[in-house]
């Protein structure tokens, strides 16, 4: 079995790549996160005063879809990071989609381990701040017209969690899709 099919070596390699190329990885992720924040905030504002659970579910489905697009774009943009040390944003979405598809088909358990680890970090970064700002009921159920300050705190915590976790899963997907080959490690960064 190649390293791509073994979660621990792949997760470790992804963390090592993040440490080695942190600036390029996190700046790329921040760019995607900031672009994704626009539809993320708009989807919440559209149902601001709507107490229905169906509205909350619709908002969550839309949020998942926009987050998935951001993840695929970051994956494609960081596809060459292991070998060149630089992001490649041109054509990133189709490239990231192909890599993600290949990774899921090649080693679904390793991809799941990356999702779980990234999700755990995201939860630690966002849930306490969101619950403190909005209250548990609003985090779990309909948003139901929160105060602007509380909404801002929750939004910023989501932004931070996304910017921190997107490159980790992207590199897990890249490593799995490429068979765990790290390529040449350029100097710098």
- At 98, list the tokens: 């192909």
> Following DSSP, what letter does each residue of the chain receive, concatenated?
--GGG-HHHHHHHHHHHHHHTHHHHHHHHHHHHHHHHHHHHHHHHHTTT---HHHHHHHHHHHHHHHHHHHHHHHHHTTTHHHHSS---TTHHHHHHHHHHHHHHH-HHHHHHHHHHHHHHHHHHHHHHHHHHH-HHHHHS---S--HHHHHHHHHHHHHHHHHHHHHHHHHHHHHHTTT------S--
**pLDDT score for 111:** 96
pLDDT at 6: 86
pLDDT tens digits, one per residue of 110-125 = 999 999 999 999 999 9
Matching residue, tokens 């994704």: 36
Task: List, for residues 58-92, the tens digit of each pLDDT value.
Answer: 878 888 899 999 999 999 999 999 999 999 999 99
Half-sphere exposure at residue 80, Cβ-oriented, CA atoms within 13 angstroms: 10
C-alpha–C-alpha distance, residues 13 and 4, integer Å: 10
Residue 148's pLDDT is: 79
Q: In this structure, are residues 169 and 115 in contact, taking their beta carbons and an 8 Å threshold?
A: yes
Reported pTM: 0.85
Q: In tens digits, what is the pLDDT along the chain, a chain of 189 residues?
A: 566 678 999 999 999 999 999 999 999 999 999 998 888 777 777 777 776 777 778 878 888 899 999 999 999 999 999 999 999 999 999 999 999 999 999 999 999 999 999 999 999 998 898 888 888 877 766 666 677 787 888 888 889 999 999 999 999 999 999 986 544 333 333
Tell me what pLDDT residue 173 has: 97
**What is the per-residue pLDDT for 37?**
84
């Amino acid at each position: 079995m190649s390293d791509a099919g073994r979660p621990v070596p792949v997760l470790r390699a992804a963390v090592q790549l993040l440490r080695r190329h942190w600036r390029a990885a996190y700046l790329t992720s921040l760019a995607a996160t900031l672009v994704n924040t626009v539809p993320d905030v708009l989807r919440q504002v559209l149902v601001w005063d709507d107490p229905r659970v169906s509205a909350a579910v619709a908002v969550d489905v839309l949020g998942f879809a926009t987050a998935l697009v951001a993840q695929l774009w970051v994956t494609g943009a960081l596809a060459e990071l292991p070998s060149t040390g630089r992001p490649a944003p041109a054509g990133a979405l189709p490239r990231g989609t192909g890599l993600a598809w290949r990774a899921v088909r090649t080693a679904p358990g390793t991809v799941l381990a990356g999702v779980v680890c990234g999700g755990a970090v995201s939860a630690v970064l966002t849930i306490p701040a969101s619950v403190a700002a909005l209250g548990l009921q609003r985090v779990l159920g309909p948003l139901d017209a929160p105060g602007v300050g509380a909404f801002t705190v929750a939004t910023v915590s989501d932004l931070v969690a996304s910017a921190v976790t997107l490159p980790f899963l992207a590199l897990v997907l890249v490593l799995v899709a490429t068979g765990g080959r790290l390529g040449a490690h350029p100097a710098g960064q």
